[in-house]
Each structure stands twice: as C-alpha cells, then as structure tokens.
Amino acid sequence: MSFKFHGGVHPPDKKSPADKTQVIPLNPPSLVVIPMSLHIGAPCRPAVKVGDMVKLGQKIGDSDAPVSAPIHATVSGKVTAVEPRLTPAGTMVTSVVIENDGMDTPCETMVPHSEEELSDPDAIVALIREAGIVGMGGATFPTAFKITSGKGKVDTVIINGAECEPYITSDYRTMLEHPEEVLGGIRLIMKACGVSRAIFAIEDNKADAIALLKSKNSENSGIDILPLKTLYPQGAEKQLIKTVTGLEVPPGGLPAAVGCAVFNCFTAYSVYRAAYEGRPAIERVVTVAGSAMEQPKNYLVRVGTPLEYVFEQAGGFIKEPHKVIMGGPMMGVAVHDLSVPVIKGTNALLAFCEDETRTVENPTCIRCGKCVEVCPMNLLPLYMYMYEQKDDYAGMERNRLTDCIECGACAYNCPGRLHLTHSFRAGKAKIAARAAAEKARAEATKAATTV
C-alpha cells in the first residue's frame, strides 16, 4: 500500500530510448580533476602533492570532521596540480589534478572485505566511510554519518528507486543490470542501520526492473519491493517517506524523526561494490541526453572526468547547446563551463538545443493558484515570490520560503511563466547572507564591548 503526498506534477518522462541500451563504460580521460569537496559537509584536505604517483582507488583526501567523506583517485597516474578549480556549482574548490597513465593500477586497499567483517554492523559503517560513499542520487550526504546519526531512531530503511525526473535512467539501468548487487547493498545497509525492514520504492514506469528485482529478492530478506504510481517529485526525501509510510517529516526535521532513513538505489550498489570488490566511490552511471544529443545513452563515468570529454565521447552535440544541465531538467544545475568535472552525485548530463524553459518576456502572476495546487511542501509560491522580489524578509519567513525543496513543480505549472524556483533559490541565499551579516555584526559588537 502507498500513500499520496500533496501536489506534484506529471512532466513528460522523456526516458526512452536511453532506457533501452546497456550502460557503456566510458574510457577514462587523460586528465581528471577531483574537487576536495564531493559531498555535503567539511571539505577534505589533500593527502597528495604535485609530483606524487597515485594508484586507482588510493585515498587522496580526507577530513577528521564527522560530516565528510574521503576522496579517492579515479585513475592511476601523476598528480600534476593541487589547486583551486571551478566546480559544477560555480565555486572554486581545491582540486587534485591527475594525469592518467592509462594503466588503472589498483591500490592495494582495493580488496574485498571478509564475510566476518560484513556480519559486523560497525565494520560495515567503517567500510562505507572509508569508501567515501555519499548520497549518489545527487544529495551527496555522507552515507556513514547518515547511518550512525540514525542509530536507535530508525526502524525503516527506504531505498529510493523512484528516479522521477524526466530523461534520467541511470538508476533504472543499474537496477536492470545489477539487481543482485543492489539488493546485496540494501542488505548491508539494513545490517549497518540495525533494522530488519527495507522498502525499495520504484515508480511503475520501470515495470521490468520491478519484476526482475522481485524475482531476485528472497522471501525472508526483509526487503519489500514497492511499485509507486509516477508523480514528480516523488523521489524527494520527504515526499518519498510520505508516499511509502504515510508519515510526515516535520518542517526543518530529519527523516529519523519519523523512524526512516532514505538511501538512493545507486548508493546501495556502491555499498555492495565497496564491500565485495573493495571499490570506493570513484564512478557513477550518468545519463547523457537532451535535444542536443543524437542518441541518449548511459555511461559509467569516473569522478573527475570533464563534462566536455563526456559529451565528446557520447558523440558530440548535433547543434551547439543552448543550455547544459547537470542532473534533471526540474532540479538540476545549469552548467556554463564544460571543463568542470563529473562529481559523485552526477546522475545525468543534459544538453538542450533551444530554450526549453518556456520563458516569456514579461512574466506575470495572474493569481490562478496553480502553483499552490502542486507544491509538495504545501507552500504558497506566489506569495513567496512576491516577498522575495520585494526583499521582504518577514514575508519570506512567514511563508516558509526556506522549506522550499526547489523541485520546480510550481514553475512547471505556472501559466504566467514566473521564474519561481530561481526566485526561491535567490531568496534562500539572501536569507543566509543576512543571517551571516547579523552574526558578524553581533560578534563585532561583543568584541568591542569586551575590550
């Protein structure tokens, strides 16, 4: 049985024909650029210097902070630079640049873990941390920390196989091509979390994956494979919890508040590979699609691979793209410089020929309420927009602008073509900047009065 969250939309799924073809392993590029922040939390300190020779899977960055995840070399070769480089988010981040020697010489640490280790929940958490596994659906929250912080509070693991954004089929292909590994990864996550129940939630537009996983799932595994009716943004954490359990995560709260922990399907696959192959999080299946690509396909891409190399290997653009997006068309990030690298949470690269955002010259609100109808967070987007445009902080707060998950459902449904999601991102940045300025002012005042 499943429940329904408020709102949601049905954008055309545009998944075929990428979902018909096998994942193609992409030859690694001659140079990889690996940012020392590939996760939410503290960035890593580089553990290598220019001139060092590194092996595939060797740890090249780590941090003592609890919310962080180590970073590994994604090719073997020579470190040619450790310097700030541009990331897909548009920020400059210290990055390790490795010249690929083409050998893929594996690091000695890349060995399978013993059955004894894999029966110990703490050892599983430790290997997940060491492998640098993060939320591979795009959230990039460190998986080991999610497990340890939920211990004693979580009784249900939810595996997110919704993949509800248009175009993206990378998790779908992973389910079809590696069902046993995905299920094995889920069992390890359950053991690490100390729970006996997992729900693998998959949208019913992936019927063959659902049937395959059901056929591979043993009766006493504790894993329920739950087909869901398609609805965007069902893959968002809070909406998935509501759909699967009927429970609402309180505003500003975490899934553990309702006894749940949500992991992406590719995260489960990565856990399996780390446990049984000793392979850290050095690659991800990426859907490469959009109207600027001749043939949409899925590729297994090493982290640190420049986007321009991925597009080139995928056959190049049929026409100069108007827009390139990392992630899906609803929640993805527009990328303006194709030299930036693939990161751990990159599930798709989309290139579009035309402006497909349906913009108009003078976006105008006609007070139709269609944005309110579809907001999965029960917000009032028209008012949030109005207050953001006026820099009215009290209005933004009253209307819970910071609760917006930036899913884009309101903008998709808006006949006035207002740039709603963009406005809410800007509003959050303004609120954060104002809070930081207030904090700095308070500290300066305190310092002045204590002199």
- What are the structure tokens assigned to 263, written together? 């992991």
How far apart are alpha carbons 401 and 388 in whole angstroms?
9
Min CB(402)–ligand SF4 separation in Å: 10
Q: Which is closer to ligand SF4, CB of 356 or CB of 406?
A: 406
Kindly state whether residue 416 participates in binding ligand SF4, applying the rule CB under 6 A. yes
If binding is defined by CB under 6 A, does position 418 make contact with ligand SF4? yes
Residue number with CB closer to ligand SF4 (78 or 400):
400
Complete DSSP assignment for 86-126:
E-TTS-EEEEEEEEE-S--PBPTT--PPPTTGGG-HHHHHH
Q: How far is CA 268 from CA 74, 135, 146, 237, 265, in A?
A: 20, 9, 13, 16, 5
The nearer residue to ligand SF4, 153 or 428, going by C-beta atoms, is 428
**Do residues 168 and 207 lie in contact, with contact meaning Cβ atoms separated by under 8 Å?**
no
Q: Is 371 in the site for ligand SF4 (CB under 6 A)?
A: yes
Which tokens sit at 349? 């690269």
Q: Which of 136, 202, 301, 420 binds ligand SF4 (CB under 6 A)?
A: 420
Residue 410 in the binding site for ligand SF4 (CB under 6 A): yes
Q: State the CB neighbour count (10 A cutoff) for residue 47.
A: 16
Which one among 36, 98, 314, 377 touches ligand SF4, defined by CB under 6 A?
377
Candidate list 368, 429, 437, 442; residue touching ligand SF4; CB under 6 A: 368
* 31 forms part of the interface with ligand SF4 (CB under 6 A): no
- Taking alpha carbons only, the member of 191, 259, 194, 186 closest to residue 223 is 186
366: contact with ligand SF4 by CB under 6 A:
yes
In the list 382, 383, 388, 396, the residue contacting ligand SF4 (rule: CB under 6 A) is 382
- Tell how far CA 373 is from the center of its chain: 26
When asked if residue 432 is in the footprint of ligand SF4 (CB under 6 A), the reply is no
Stretch that binds ligand SF4, among 99-107, 146-154, 418-426, 438-446 (CB under 6 A): 418-426
Buried b or exposed e, range 212-246, using 16+ CB within 10 angstroms: bbeeebeeebbbebbbbebbbbbbbbbbbbbbbbe
Residue 406 CB, shortest distance to ligand SF4, in Å, is 5
For ligand SF4, the binding residue among 95, 140, 421, 423 (CB under 6 A) is 421
| Out of 120, 224, 356, 406, the residue judged to bind ligand SF4 by CB under 6 A | 406
Cβ 142 vs Cβ 69: under 8 Å: yes
CB closer to ligand SF4 out of 322 and 422: 422
Q: Which of 47, 53, 254, 365 binds ligand SF4 (CB under 6 A)?
A: 365
Q: Which amino acid is at 231?
A: L
Residue number, 216 or 400, with CB nearest to ligand SF4: 400
Assess 381 for contact with ligand SF4 (CB under 6 A): yes
Is omega for the bond preceding 35 within 30 degrees of 0, making it cis?
no
Please tell me the distance from the alpha carbon of residue 32 to that of residue 412, in angstroms, as a whole number: 36
Binding site for ligand SF4 (CB under 6 A): 365-371, 374-377, 379, 381-382, 404-410, 414-416, 418, 420-421, 424
